[in-house]
Chain A
Amino acid sequence: MKVLVFTPDLCDGCRICEETCSQTWFKEVNAAKAAIHISELEDQPGRFVANVCNQCGECIDICPTMAIKRDKRGIVRIDKKLCVGCLSCVGFCPILAMRVHADYTVPVKCVACGQCAKKCPTGALSVQDLADAEWTETEKRMKVVA
């Protein structure tokens, strides 16, 4: 499955990734709308961490309308037509990488589009092909039905 992978040793905290993400998806530079958030470690100045979806898929089993599915590349996506904006996925994301912004009713998450990785000047971000996640309960049911 495709996942945006962050290498902390290479990050210099320029936050171009946040700008790129919001520009790509919302046509504006606004870090609050970005699917990736960079923050500096309080106890280690100059060291940065990224908070971004790792495509684990736990949100698939939380969504009451089955608006969240994994696509063929393994990327977890929200179907805007089915989303009812209940924010269950926002509250239940194990790493708090599902976000909500007041301008939108559908949550914002990373879909490993790779635009930020292309723009990252230090190579701290890359889209990699990792081992597939285990099937969620929802996927097991749907595959059995199919």
Chain B
Amino acid sequence: MASIEAIRAAHKVLAEFEYTPAKVERGYANQTLYVNVSDNTIVSKPVDKKMKHTFIGGRGFGLWLLWNAVHDDTHWDDPENEVILSSGPIGGTTAYPGAGKSIAVSLSPLTHTVVDSNVGGHFGPLLKFAGWDASEVQGIAEQEVSVFVDGNKGLVQIIAAPHEADDSYLLPQQVLELFADAPEEKAGISSVSAGPGSEHTLIGCLNVSFYDVRRKFPRLKQAGRGGIGSVLRQKKVKALVVKYVGVKADSNAPADWEELTRVGSKMQREIHDRDPIMNDMRGGGTTMLTSIMNEFDLLPVHNFRYGSHPEAERLYKDQFKPYFSLNIPNGCWYGCTLACASCVERFQPRTGPYKGQWVNVDGPEYETIAGIGSNCGIFDAHAVLEANFYCDTYGIDTISFGTALAFAMECYEEGILNQERTGGLELRFGNAEAMLELLHQMARGEVFGTVVGQGIRRMKQHLMQKYGADPQFLQDIGMECKGLEYSEYVTKESIAQQGGYGLANKGPQHDEAWLIFMDAVRNQIPTFEDKAEALHYFPMFRTWFSLNGLCKLPWNDVEPADNRTAYEPRVAARVPEHVENYIRLFTAVTGRQDVTKPEDLILMSEAVYNFQRLFNLKMGFGTREHDAVPYRSMGPVTQEEYESRADRYDSQLEEIGFNPGGKSTAEKMAALRAHREQRYESLIDAVYKRRGWTPEGIPTLETVKRLGIDYPDVVALIEKHTA
């Protein structure tokens, strides 16, 4: 490893841009930063009122900037593609929990269309305080570079960075040493980086750092979904670095600080009072979900075949908690006392380049535990932690890694793969050693690691073309939709959540909707119209967080004490008092007086959400066929799956008038499948109608006019596809 002096000595400034940092006004810097690493240009772009009103910020700004940067035939690895990060008007607010998110937007190597991925860490807020509402990186560099934004000096540089580490364990530490002029400046620096795994796979993630003043090392949060890390490395960008020293309560320049103090301190007290008796996020982040999901048969086991497992308790919260250092702040932005960012300060990997060294690990979160743990049959907390460490270090999305590996393991168990075909790896469910070796192969760009690293959609092609595997079986068990791997919930008994995944703009990620309890457990949305309403409201409401730089967790992972008694269950699920908080928060920051009721938030999201759907259409997707989901997400693919829950499925068949008596499992499976697939189509019909889309899933001209996104190219696109 090169010394800091050697790294610095090799730096060569390839381009430099001086600017007078814009003073943030009511949540906006009113300009965005454009950097082209092909021709080394750096430009400031204005943000006008129309852009703010239509796209708000965050994901909305990312979509708008990318829409204008790419063409319908732009490929993810073309120089035209961009990596965009933006927080949003509320982002950088310190007085309300969960207000420091950044949203990354790019063309995805997995889906070949636009993807958004939200992430904690300090990048987005510091970028704004440095004078930029978004940063847009286009081009492909000739050599390894870093982009450095100094918001105190008003300076942007593209720097040749040949000697920095290429992994995200060392690189963020080096960045702090390189760019902090004094130790106390470290808190004002955040970096975005990927890693060697991003280079050799399509499932690369971005690591966004924040400096932990007590633990004295950089912490990492991930924009995992959609392979944006792979795009960053393909551009030969090692790190995006922003520096802004001097964050204050009013750095985001809210319109009404007094209102912010009221709503913020109320929420802080609520977390103090309610979190310990609700989810205890402060005591271990999202790790508590494993036991809940296992109990309700929702925990993915063996590539989503099953929803629970007798050994699952080896992945429960109590197995991870002893590793965590708690009782000091674990928020990924100032003021987030929900503090889900658990930290393992001393961990000793048993394999790989850091074998035997003491390292720190951020996480694991539930998705990582379920994806790499139970879904791959690996009921071993240490192995999950080690995989979590190396995924982050190598720049690999833990969700796509876990789901893709689970698919490969099932193919191995079914004889489609064998040791010869995997290059010697015995990819049986539960083989932690093979899992870790595969991960190291991804970083080294070797053999089977790079095959799994292409994601499930390409793996299916590989297995069909090379080994003549049954296409229908692969389609049924390959848990991807739109090319993106599923996140970690079993949806077989929740038709609404099948749609929640299948209809999600970027692919099957749960950040659009999580309706399983409402639908399958509590039966609160029984009709298709009810489900369609939920699949309108919740995706729109959750989209709103990503426009504003907000985290979803403080919305419904903690609730006011009277939430469940003051409202009927379906209304309580929306947490009305918190929705009211968000209206107050938005108004207090932006000063906009036209946002007064929940519907106003939904309307803001609708414009951006429909625009993203149309972006998919522009790129050759965005129609009904692309909302199809694998049957594994709907019901039992194999006889073993059916028979493991035969009572449940038999009684469901009786309900629809099919007598299971005397029928073979195959006959019963066929009847169940026909029924469930029909229901999914009915659900899609109802949702499209509710969203103002054609039966093919295209937003109508009336819809885009109502939402104010009837730009000439949008109208032309719709006319071309609906003529």
Contacts and interface: CB of A to CB of B under 8 A. Distances in A.
Chains A and B come from one and the same complex: yes
Contacts of B247: 84
A114 B278 CA distance: 41
A90 interface: yes
Interface string A113-138: 00000000000000000000000011
Nearest to A91: B268
A10 interface: no
Given A84-B248, A85-B249, A87-B264, A102 B257 contact: yes
Interface in B588-625: none
A84 B337 CA distance: 14
Contacts of B94: 84-87
Interface residues of B, number: 29
B272 A91 contact: yes
Contact of A92 (B95, B213, B248, B268): B268
A63 interface: yes
B652 interface: no
A92 B264 CA distance: 12
Interface in A23-60: none
Contact of A90 (B213, B248, B265, B331): B265
Contacts of B270: 91
A92 to B, nearest CB: 5
Interface string B199-221: 00000000000000110100000
A65 B258 CA distance: 22
A91 B271 contact: yes
B269 interface: yes
Nearest to A80: B248
Given A83-B249, A92-B337, A137-B327, A102 B261 contact: yes
Contacts of A91: 265, 267-272, 337
A84 B216 CA distance: 19
A21 interface: no
Interface in B307-341: 327-329, 331, 334-335, 337
A106 to B, nearest CB: 7
Contact of A64 (B267, B268, B327, B334): B334
For chain A, give the interface size range: 20 to 34
B249 A63 contact: no
Contacts of A90: 265, 268-269
Given A65-B187, A66-B214, A84-B94, A105 B257 contact: yes
Interface string B240-256: 00000001111100000
Nearest to A63: B329
A88 interface: yes
Contacts of A65: 187, 213, 334
Contacts of A101: 261
A100 B213 contact: no
A62 B328 CA distance: 6
Given A65-B213, A105-B249, A105-B250, A87 B328 contact: no
Contacts of A84: 94, 247-249, 251, 334-335
Residue among A65, A84, A90 with max Cβ neighbours from chain B (10 Å): A84
A145 B337 CA distance: 25
Contacts of A62: 329, 337
Contacts of A87: 94-95, 261, 264-265, 268, 335
A45 B482 CA distance: 69
A138 B335 CA distance: 17
A72 interface: no
Contacts of B337: 62, 88, 91-92
A114 B269 CA distance: 29
A131 B335 CA distance: 31
A61 B216 CA distance: 15
A88 B335 contact: yes
Contacts of B269: 90-92, 96
A141 interface: yes
A141 B261 CA distance: 31
B99 to A, nearest CB: 9
Nearest to B259: A102
Contacts of A96: 269
Contacts of B271: 91
Interface in B159-218: 187, 213-214, 216
B80 to A, nearest CB: 39
Nearest to A66: B213
A127 B372 CA distance: 57
A85 B250 contact: yes
Contacts of B257: 102, 105
B249 A64 contact: no
Nearest to B212: A64
A138 B328 contact: yes
A51 B95 CA distance: 23
Contacts of B250: 85, 105
Interface in B120-178: none
Interface in B391-433: none
A109 B519 CA distance: 48
B391 to A, nearest CB: 26
A92 B276 CA distance: 12
Nearest to B247: A84
A145 B264 CA distance: 33
A105 B248 contact: yes
Contacts of A102: 257-258, 261
A85 B249 CA distance: 4
Given A91-B337, A102-B258, A85 B187 contact: no
Contacts of B251: 84
B328 A137 contact: yes
B335 A100 contact: no
A105 B95 CA distance: 10
Contacts of B248: 83-85, 105
Contacts of B261: 87, 100-102
A44 B160 CA distance: 74
A46 to B, nearest CB: 30
Contacts of B335: 64, 84, 86-88
A84 B187 CA distance: 12
A93 to B, nearest CB: 9
A39 to B, nearest CB: 18
Residue among A61, A87, A106 with max Cβ neighbours from chain B (10 Å): A87
A136 B507 CA distance: 45
A95 B94 CA distance: 22
Contacts of A92: 268-269, 272, 337
Nearest to B264: A87
Contacts of A83: 248-249
A59 B576 CA distance: 30
Contacts of B187: 65
Nearest to B273: A91
Contacts of B95: 85-87
A86 B268 CA distance: 9
A106 B216 CA distance: 25
Q: Which 4 A/B pairs are nearest by Cβ-Cβ distance?
A: A85-B249, A91-B268, A86-B335, A102-B258
18 contacts: A61-B329, A62-B329, A64-B213, A83-B248, A84-B248, A84-B335, A85-B95, A86-B264, A87-B94, A87-B261, A91-B265, A91-B337, A92-B269, A92-B337, A102-B258, A105-B250, A137-B327, A141-B328
Interface of B: 94-95, 187, 213-214, 216, 247-251, 257-258, 261, 264-265, 267-272, 327-329, 331, 334-335, 337
Given A84-B94, A88-B268, 4 more contacts: A84-B251, A87-B95, A100-B261, A105-B250
